[in-house]
Structure 1
Amino acid sequence: MTTTGAQTILYPVKDLEKAKALFTALLGVEPEIDEPYYVGYVVAGQHIGLDPNGHAKGLTGPTPYWHVEDIEGMCRALLAAGGETVQEIQEVGGGRRIASVRDADGSLLGLLQDP
């Protein structure tokens, strides 16, 4: 199993409009995705996402999402290595699938597989 790196960072937000204003000012670009359920930016190949439902999904702060080729296999490997499932694998649109695992120290590891 391989990863192409942590190319996506998701931020759980409580007020999407305030967060969008702040990140637009910080990044200097308008969002590429601007929906009530998610706002996403791409800057220098890095995807930054604002998730108003992130806290309900177990996100406690900014979470790196590691891009993987086999999300099922990577989840099994991380659980076998002592990780704990936080968010089961789910499709989030366009064939993209995500999941998250907590390591022994409580840090969240997001996993993302594109179609």
Structure 2
Amino acid sequence: MTAGLKTVIYPVKDIAKAKALFTALLGVEPYVDEPYYVGFKDAGQDVGLDPSGHSKGLTGPVPYWHVDDIKETLSGLLAAGAETLQDVQEVGGGRLIASVRDAEGNQVGLIQDTAA
């Protein structure tokens, strides 16, 4: 089961310029502002800027579906023909992420947060 699309990650080459653009667009300051990642929260949406995204193979924004069980969801996607791009990985605070590419070449991200 998903909680919907709540996160979009953009690969960026110039994080300072991208941060300025998204600050102007969203009208909020980032809640995470690090050299390796800048994150914004606005209207229930998480928008992330990843300066390493291109080197990870990202060619454009990647939507992340928030799921209850990332391993089960990933297994289902792989059984349906998806290809693993990033296996399940903990990225801090118990948050797990993974991503796949579908048969059309689209990237699909998954996020599982720890229960609060």
TM normalised by structure 2 equals 0.96
Question: CA-atom RMSD, angstroms?
Answer: 0.7
Q: Give matches, 1:84-99, under 5 Å.
A: 84-99=83-98
User: 2:73 and 2:88 mapped to 1: Cα distance?
Assistant: 11
Shift of 1:54: 1.2
Distance 1:93 1:48 in 2: 17
- Alpha-carbon distance in structure 1 between the residues aligned to 2:69 and 2:50: 24
Structure 1 stretches of 4+ with a deviation exceeding 3 A read: none
Q: CA deviation at 1:59?
A: 1.5
How many Å separate the matches in 2 of 1:23 and 1:15? 12
Aligned length: 114
Please report the TM-score for the alignment, with normalisation by the length of structure 1.
0.96
Structure 1 residue 58, shift from structure 2 partner: 2.1
Q: Is contact 1:98-1:112 (8 Å) kept?
A: yes
| 2:24 corresponds to | 25
1:62-77 → structure 2 map (5 Å cutoff):
62-77=61-76
Q: Which residue matches 1:107?
A: 106
Segments of 5+ residues of structure 1 without an aligned counterpart are: none
Q: Distance in 2 between matches of 1:13 and 1:7?
A: 19
Preserved contact between residue 89 and residue 98 of structure 1 (Cα < 8 Å) = yes
Percent identical among aligned pairs is 68
Contact 1:57-1:87 at 8 Å conserved across structures: no
Partners of 2:96 and 2:57 in 1: CA distance: 17
Q: Which residue of 1 aligns with 2:41?
A: 42
Deviation at 1:57, TM superposition (A): 2.0
Partner of 2:57: 58
Q: Deviations over 1:11-49 (max 9, x none)?
A: 011111111011101111110110111100000100000
- Structure 2: runs of 5+ lacking an equivalent: none
